[in-house]
Amino acid sequence: MKKKIIFCAFLLFGQNFLLKAQQKIAFKTVIKANRLVLGIHLFLAGNFNNWNPADSAWQLRPVGEGGFVLNKVMAKGVYQFKVTKGSWPSVECTADGKPADNRSLVVTKDTAISLNIAGWQDDFAIAEKSHTASRQVHIISDKFEMPQLGRQRRVWIYLPAGYSSSKKKYPVIYMHDGQNLFDDYTAGFGEWGIDEILDKIPDAKQSVIVGIDHGGDYRITEYDPFDSKYGKGRGDDYIRFIVQTLKPYIDKRYHVKTGAAYTTIAGSSMGGLISMYAALKYPGVFGNAGIFSPAFWIAPQIYTYAQHAKLPRSSRFYFVCGDAESDSVVTDMQKMAGIIRLKVKSNASAPVVIIKGASHNEKQWNGDFPGFYTWLTGSQEVRKIKRFL
């Protein structure tokens, strides 16, 4: 993952920086002559610095002819990162210009890491992207008014194939990071493929999906209901926009089921955090929530908020993440599920799914979605759908 992680997943795992079990890590690299640029500056961007591609605290120091080093003290844990020349367009890539996978680092002891750079993305022409959204996906508005935030945003909607030929009312799922749900053209580095998944299931198990674009630089604060070092949390305003403005709009103009039992909110990373908050604050609106790889670390207040929240026993939460995301995301998610299970009907109302070997990206969430949707609707057909990414 590269730039997409900035938008979809770039604020995870701050809890890795514990003040215990510190280890000395030496990053070393030698750039081949054909990859060496005069005056080049190299940086590490990863889940240890919010995927900042030009973080001076993680800049490598040139030594000798084409050599670079960086010595850091890091807590034990699992880290993912890339090498950049100071921006995501100039991130490392494969020798033939294809996106390189994240580098993984498991810190357990003092060690030295050798970094061999195969190529730089800005040495290659940008690959053309095409639209992949199915015919069931529509843009409600490119500039939907968000009076609670004083902003505008693009809003998408997926309508089942049978929608126009009947007056049947469908359940609704509200999802964040709309750029990444349906169309590879608007997704930075891969889409969830929600439309391709739902296109394959019978109308009887279909839902309307409403996707709200994230706000770019506003994403962190809009998806955080609490203040943090990243700014004043506007998550409460963002959720009020959905509850007070967007949902009434959808309920009035589309034939959908409006009750909480048929209304779900879902998202990943920061979107998982804000979905959790929405379902806790407005259980009479959102009866179900899909919590994918939630960034609970940025807002530890969410646990206290959950403990004091009054939920009907009919509320339902689906928790899912990969075990290769970090050393804390699994325990964070399990902690929240433990709180919720004391409030809902049964453990089946708050399942915890840990995907072995899965990382923090759209490929994972594409693979996670069928299991979530099967749990939500009882549709066994969607469980049979394989990852398409």
Report pLDDT digits (tens) over 95-123. 888 888 888 888 889 999 999 898 898 88
DSSP 320-382: EEETTS-SSHHHHHHHHHHHHHTTSS-GGGS-EEEETT--SSHHHHHHHHHHHHHHHH--HHH
> What pLDDT, on a 0 to 100 scale, did the predictor assign at position 9?
37
pLDDT over 70 (residue 5): no
pLDDT digit string (tens) for 135-193?
999 999 999 999 999 999 999 999 999 999 988 999 999 999 999 999 989 987 688 89
> What pLDDT, on a 0 to 100 scale, did the predictor assign at position 32?
63
Q: Which residues does 113 contact at the CB level (< 8 Å), separation at least 6?
A: 25, 26, 27, 28, 105
pLDDT over 90 (residue 389): no
> What pLDDT, on a 0 to 100 scale, did the predictor assign at position 369?
92
pLDDT tier, 383 (very low <50, low <70, confident <90, very high otherwise): low
Q: If you compute the radius of gyration of the chain from its CA atoms, what whole number of angstroms results?
A: 22
CA distance 155 to 150: 16
> What pLDDT, on a 0 to 100 scale, did the predictor assign at position 84?
95
Average pLDDT, integer, range 229-240: 95
pLDDT over 80 (residue 379): no
Strands 263-268 and 316-322: unpaired
pLDDT tier, 18 (very low <50, low <70, confident <90, very high otherwise): very low
pLDDT digit string (tens) for 338-349?
999 999 999 999
pLDDT digit string (tens) for 186-211?
987 688 899 999 999 999 999 999 99
Q: What is the mean pLDDT of the chain?
A: 88
Model confidence, pTM: 0.77
First to last CA, the chain: 13
Exposed/middle/buried for 389, CB within 10 Å: 0-12, 13-18, 19+? middle
pLDDT digit string (tens) for 47-69?
788 788 999 999 999 987 778 99
Please provide the size of the chain in residues: 389
Structure tokens given for 295: 């960034």
pLDDT over 60 (residue 362): yes
